[in-house]
Structure formats: C-alpha cells, structure tokens
Structure 1
Amino acid sequence: MTVVRRAQPWLSTAARLLLGGVLVVAGALKLPDPAEAVRAVRAYRLLPEGLVGPVAFGLPVVEVAVGLALLAGVFLRTAALAAAVLMAVFTAAVASAWARGLQIDCGCFGGGGEVAAGETGYPAEVARDVALLLVALALARWPRSRLALGGPAAGVREPARV
C-alpha cells in the first residue's frame, strides 16, 4: 500500500473538517440577521426581487446543513457535491460582481451589501472559493475518511480487499 493511499482517509478527513467548518461558520453568521442577508443577496443584482428573500433566508440553512453533514461524516459524497455546487455558485456570483464593477462586500461570512470604492476583496474571495471548490471535488472523488459516522449509508463503498 502506497503512502498516498494510506494517507487518503486522513486527507479526506482534513478536507471534510475544513469544508464543513467553513460552511457551518458562514451559515451561522448569517442566521441572526436576516435583513443583512437580504441586503447582501440584493447587492449582487442577480436575482429578481421575488427570489432575494427566499435565497437570503434559505442559503444559510443550506450552508449549515451541508456543513454539519460534512463534519459528522454522513452522506459524504452527496454533501461534498452540494458543497461544490455552493462554491461554484459563490465563485460565479463574486466574479460577476467583480466583472460588472460592483462595489460590494461578498457577504460570505455575514455582512454584505454596498461598500466604498477600493474596499472589495474580489481576488481573495474568488481564490478562496475556487480552493474550496477544489477541496469539495476532491472529497467527492475520495470520500472515505476517518472519524465519520457514515459508512456504506454515506455513499462510500469500501474497496474490495484482495
């Protein structure tokens, strides 16, 4: 057995805890102030007004739910793919705001909305989200990890032993 193969479950565990922790923190910081979440979503100018509220209220709940699944180690492949979708959407939204010259705080960890010129952090936000997207995709590909509650029920098949 190669070193990489032996290390893979621990690498997946680290990926799971990192990604899950980021999602739980990001979602939990948005939950206490729904009006702030609405301002953050509205600032992107991507959704019709009728969808701003539901997205602003629902997104933090989805982030926390996916994050908790990753932290607990249940439904790992599904949770990792959901996290990848979230990261791809976040990356596209921030890149869109950047490309359109909007001056907004991403609202990724609470806050959000219009900011003064020069106060945006688009390059760092895109880099962070792309890195987390890659972590999520790697975890979806190699979900077997340590300290996880899930096993076969989590969508993770153990390799056949020869």
Structure 2
Amino acid sequence: MRTEGDVEAAVAAAPARTRALPWISTLVRVALAGIFGAAGLLKIGDPNGSVRAVQAYQLFPNNVAQLIGYALPFLEIALALVLLVGLATRFAAVVGGLLLLAFIGGVASAWARGLSIDCGCFGGGGQVAPGETRYLEEILRDIGFLVLAAWLAFFPRSRFTLDR
C-alpha cells in the first residue's frame, strides 16, 4: 500500500513535462469550453439565424437543416458545460472534434461548390456577397480548435475536474 510520502516522492521524481501535462490540459479544456460556449450562446438567441446558416450550406433537406439549426446551439452549450466541469473529458473532446470535422467539411464543401456564405460558426451565417467569404480563415481556425480537441482526447487528465 502506498503512503502519502510514496506518492509525493513519485511526483517529485516525475519529469517536469509530465507534471505540466495536467495543467496544459486544464487550459485546453477551459479554452474549448469557452469556444463551444460562445458559439452556442451566440446562436441560441437567434434560432432562425442558426437554421438559416445551416440551410445556406445546401447539404441537407430543409427539415433536417432546421433540426440541426435548432439543436446545434444546445449541443455546443452542453459540450461547453461538460468540458468546463471536466466530466467525461475524453468523450467530450472526441465529440467536439467530430463536430469540428463536420464544420471543416461543411465550409470546405461550400467553398468547393462556389457558395458565398458566412459559416455561422459564432452566430449570423447565411448568404453573403462573394467578396465577403473567409473560407480559408474559417477552416484554419477550426483546424486549430481541432488540434485542441485532439490534445484533450489524448491527454484528458486535467486539474479541477469531476473526472477521476
């Protein structure tokens, strides 16, 4: 049976990198919670705008686009809350990563098909003038967020969580 002194000795002997991982994961977890929380909160006040943004991608039948548009803000807020409290962190990171992959695919698809839309990632969305699109910027931003989600999927242990 380990004593408290054994645990302290093991922690002191661990490389600084290993001791820093939970703190880095904490920062990543809180950052992702903020990103998903902001995205969801900015959409939830304008559910019709969220639906309009999903419809602008022209990927789904109207009724499916409406369902996605109405549900997406709630999913993003739920992910934010789960990440913020650190509950099922790896699962939340994987779900968030899959959501980000869907966003990246949607934006890339709109760009490839010559649509002129705002992604609606943080509210708004829908048709815009051809010169107002920012597809590359949006894809690169979401790839950065995806890297954060991947980090958290591989290193889910962080400080101040409800996870064990």
TM-score when scaled to structure 1?
0.91
Amino acid at match of 1:116: A
SS at match of 2:156: coil
Matching residue of 1:128: 141
Matching residue of 2:155: 142
Q: Does 1:7 align with 2:32?
A: no
**Match for residue 98 of structure 1 among 83, 86, 111:** 111
CA distance in 2, matches of 1:77, 1:93: 24
Matching residue of 1:154: none
Matching residue of 1:28: 41
Amino acid at match of 2:107: V
Matching residue of 2:10: none
Superposition deviation, residue 150 in structure 1: 2.0
Deviations 1:121-157 (A, max 9, x none): 1111000111111110110111000111221xxxxxx
Superposition deviation, residue 118 in structure 1: 1.0
Matching residue of 2:94: 81
SS at match of 1:118: helix
Matching residue of 2:73: 60
Structure 1 runs (4+) deviating above 4 angstroms are: none
CA RMSD of aligned residues (A): 0.8
Superposition deviation, residue 3 in structure 1: 2.1
Amino acid at match of 2:105: A
Structure 1, unmatched stretches of 5+, are: 152-162
Q: Does 1:69 align with 2:107?
A: no
CA distance in 1, matches of 2:127, 2:58: 11
CA distance in 2, matches of 1:4, 1:107: 38
Matching residue of 2:125: 112
CA distance in 2, matches of 1:127, 1:68: 25
CA distance in 1, matches of 2:142, 2:127: 20
Aligned-pair identity in percent equals 48
CA distance in 2, matches of 1:50, 1:35: 13
CA distance in 1, matches of 2:59, 2:130: 20
User: 1 or 2, which has the higher helix percentage?
Assistant: 2
CA distance in 2, matches of 1:46, 1:115: 17
Q: How many residues align?
A: 151
Amino acid at match of 1:76: T
Larger radius of gyration: 2
Matching residue of 1:158: none
